[in-house]
Structure 1
Amino acid sequence: MSDQLLFVAAAPFEAACRVDCLPEGHRASRLHGHSFLGEVRAALPKDWAPFPGAEVESLSRHLSQCVSVLDYSDLNKTIPTPTDENIARWIRRNLTVPGISVVGVQSTTHSGVDLDARDHAHVWRRYIFQSAHQLPNVPNGHKCGRMHGHGFEVILHADQDVGTRDLSIDYDHLDALWAPIHEELDHACLNDIPGLENPTSENISAWIWNRLKPILPELSWVTVYETGSCGAHFDGHHYRIWKELTLDSAVRLKHAPEGDKRRRIHGHTFTLRLHLHAPLDQVHGWTVDFGDVKAVFDPIFKQLDHQPLHKVMDDRDADVASIARYIKELVAMQLPQIDRIDLNSTRGCGVILHWGELGPALPI
C-alpha cells in the first residue's frame, strides 16, 4: 500500500451547553460547561497551504478561526442540540478546508466523538484501573517477569452509523457496561483472573473485547494503555500496538518566505508514535515486545533527538510531513511491522503517515 498522509490539527474552546435530548433528570440536560477540543484530519491538496511545509499551521489556523465562534459562548444559541456529534457536524459545515476525512470533538479528557465522512460516529470513553501483573512467559531476566503494577487505561471505541440523529451512544451507557469489568480488574492481581493468566496488553484488550462485544455490538476497538507511552488495540481480529516518544529537535522551513519566522532556526518537542501490526505470539502473548521496539528504534532516535533536523535530513525540508517520511525510510527495514507514524509538533497538530490499516485514533 502506498503512503497515505493526513494532516491533523486541534483547537480548544470553552463553552456552556445543555443537551435537551437526554432523558429528564440527566445531569447533562442542565446548563453546564466543558473545555472542548475540536479536531480535524484532512488529506490536503498539494498547493493548498501558502508554501510547502505550512500545511499544519494553516490547518490549525483555519480550525481555530472556525471554533472561535463557539469559544466562551452558550452553544445552544448556535447549535440547538449541542451533543458532541452535532458540534462535530457544525465544525465540518463551517470549516473551509478541503479533503476533510474526520472531525472530532473531545468534550472531556476521557470522552469524545470522531465523525467521519460517512456520518459514522466513533464514540470513545476512557477508563482507569490500578492493578498488578507479571508476564510468566518472558525470557529470563526480563523486567516484566517480576510482579509489578500499572495504572492501566482502557479506551472503549464504539462505531455507529448515526445518520442525522443528535446522539449515538450515550457515555452513561458505556459507563454502565464498564462498571462490572472495572470491579473485577481494579486493585487486583490480573494473573489471578481466569483468562488473564498471561496478562499482556494484547491479552487484556482481547479479554475485555470478549466480555463486552456480546452486550455492546457497536464496539469497534478496545485500547489498553500499559503506560502513558505504549499500549495495544484489539478489534476482534487484529492486534495493533504503539510506542510513543518525544524528540526535542531544531528545524527551519526553507520554503518559508523571507521574513517569515518559520524560516529561522526554531524547534519543537515533537511527539512521535510508532504503530505496529503483527500477529499474536501465542507463547509470549504479545505482538512485538515494547522493549524490543524501543531498542531497535534507539539508534534512529539518537540521530533525531537534540539535533538540527534541517541539517540531518540533508537537502529535504524539515516540515512535519517530511520528517515523518524520513523516519519511515530509516525505520521500515528495522521494524517491518510498522505501518503508521504519527508526528505532532504541538498538541494535536501534525501528521499521520500510514501505509497499512489506519486503526483507531487516540485521544490528545
Structure 2
Amino acid sequence: MNSAHHLAATRFEAARSLPGIGDHGHSFRVCARAGAIPGAEQQLQQALQQAVAPLNYSQLNRQLADVSDLGLARHLRDACEQPLSLHLGSAPDRGVLLGEDGVEYLYLDTRFEAAHKLPHVPPGHKCGRLHGHGFGVRIVVDAAHNSLNDILLKAWPPLFARLNQRYLNDIPGLENPTSEVMAAWLYHALADTLQGLAWVEVRETHTAGSQFDGQHYRIWKEQHFESAVPFDGAGNYSGHSYLIRLMLQGSVDRVMGWVLDFGDVKDRFKPVYRQLDHNPLDTLPGIRAADAASVAEWVHGELKPLVPELARIDLQETPERGVSLSFRPDMQWPFL
C-alpha cells in the first residue's frame, strides 16, 4: 500500500549552554514529515515556522528546561501540534530523528578516504578500475541506549583506523567493496559496540549511497531537474529547481554485491528525466496536476516497470517543501 507525506524544512539560529561544553551557538535545521492530507502542505510549513519562531536568535536555556538535541526536537514536535516525524540537525555532522512511532534516534555523520575497485563488474565498467572516494558514513542509533560520544569516541575510531587511507579490497570482508557490502560490513562491526544500532549508511558521492539495518538493503540516487509549473489561471508560469531522490530496496546480488548499479538506476531514469527537465510539467502525458505530489505519482507510474526495486520517491520543489511517496511499509529513511 502506498503512503504519501508532506515534507517541510526551516532553519533557526540560537545559543545554548550544555554541561561540559558551556555557551555556544548553532545554525539549526529542522525537517518535518507528516501524512499528506489535501491542502495541509502549507499548514505543515506554517506549523514548523511558528514552532521555531520563538527560538530564533534566542538563548535556549532561558526558554527550555532541556536544551539537548533530543529535548529541543521533542519541544518542536510538540509545538507543531500534529502527528509527525522530525529531524533536527544541530551541526552538519550530527542530529536526532524522532519517529511517529515514538522511537528516537541520534546520528553522527563521519567520513574516511580510501581506494577500491569492484572486481566483478563487466569489462570496461569504470568501477572496475582502481579509484577512490571520500566515503561518507552515517551511523544511526537508538537514543535510549547511546550517547553521541559512544559513537564518536568509542565505536568509530577503531574502524576509522582500519579504513582510512587504505585499499579496501585488501580488508577481510571487503574484497568486493560496493557501498551495500560496506554498509553491511560496518553495521556488523559496530553492532557489538553500539547497543540499539539502527542502521548504517555509506555515501560514495553526494548523490548516491546505501543503507543497511541488519535485515534490509536500500540504495538511493539523487538528481536535479529544472521545470516550469502553472502559476495562476491566467496562463502564467513559474518554475522550480527540483531535487528528486529515488530509493530502492532489494536483495544484494551474490556476485555483483549490489541491489542495482547506481549507473543503471540513472540510465533507467533517463527517459523519465528527459520529459521532466526543461519542460512545463502540466504537459506531461497523463499527469493529474503539476503539484509535487502529482509529479511524484507520475514518476512512479513511469519508473515502476523499469525499476521494480523502487521503494520510495522524495521530491523537493524547494529546500523548504516537498513530498515523499513510499511503496513499502518498512522504509526507515531519514528525510530531507
Shorter-chain TM-score: which interval?
over 0.9
In the aligned structure 2, how far is the partner of 1:362 from the partner of 1:126?
Answer: 13
**How far did residue 110 of structure 1 move?**
0.9
Gaps of 5+ in 2: none
Residue among 47, 50, 59 paired with 1:74:
59
Determine the structure 2 residue equivalent to 1:16: 15
In the aligned structure 1, how far is the partner of 2:320 from the partner of 2:215?
Answer: 29
The percentage of aligned residue pairs carrying the same residue is: 39
Residue among 215, 224, 242 paired with 1:237:
215
**How far did residue 117 of structure 1 move?**
3.1
**How far did residue 95 of structure 1 move?**
1.2
Alignment coverage as a number of residue pairs: 335
Residue among 300, 305, 308 paired with 1:336:
308
Using a 3 Å threshold, how does the CA distance of structure 1 residues 351 and 358 change in structure 2: closer, same or farther?
farther
- Relative to total residues, which structure has the larger strand share, 1 or 2? 2
Using a 3 Å threshold, how does the CA distance of structure 1 residues 362 and 117 change in structure 2: closer, same or farther?
closer
**How far did residue 253 of structure 1 move?**
5.5
Residue among 130, 145, 148 paired with 1:171:
148
Residue among 274, 277, 281 paired with 1:305:
277
Residue among 96, 108, 124 paired with 1:113:
96
In the aligned structure 2, how far is the partner of 1:227 from the partner of 1:60?
Answer: 30
Matched, 1:271 2:243: yes
Q: Which amino acid aligns with 1:3?
A: N
Determine the structure 1 residue equivalent to 2:185: 207
TM-score where L is the length of structure 1: 0.88
Using a 3 Å threshold, how does the CA distance of structure 1 residues 208 and 328 change in structure 2: closer, same or farther?
same
Contact 2:225/2:243 (8 A) holds in 1: yes
Determine the structure 1 residue equivalent to 2:138: 155
SS at match of 2:45: helix
Question: What's the Cα RMSD here?
Answer: 1.8
Determine the structure 2 residue equivalent to 1:186: 164
SS at match of 2:215: coil
SS at match of 2:55: coil
Contact 1:253/1:318 (8 A) holds in 2: no
Using a 3 Å threshold, how does the CA distance of structure 1 residues 173 and 297 change in structure 2: closer, same or farther?
same
In the aligned structure 2, how far is the partner of 1:44 from the partner of 1:5?
Answer: 5
Q: Which amino acid aligns with 2:97?
A: D
Residue among 118, 130, 133 paired with 1:135:
118
Using a 3 Å threshold, how does the CA distance of structure 1 residues 215 and 124 change in structure 2: closer, same or farther?
same
**How far did residue 172 of structure 1 move?**
1.7
Contact 2:31/2:335 (8 A) holds in 1: no
Contact 1:340/1:358 (8 A) holds in 2: no
Determine the structure 2 residue equivalent to 1:359: 331
Matched, 1:224 2:216: no
Determine the structure 2 residue equivalent to 1:101: 84
In the aligned structure 1, how far is the partner of 2:213 from the partner of 2:78?
Answer: 31
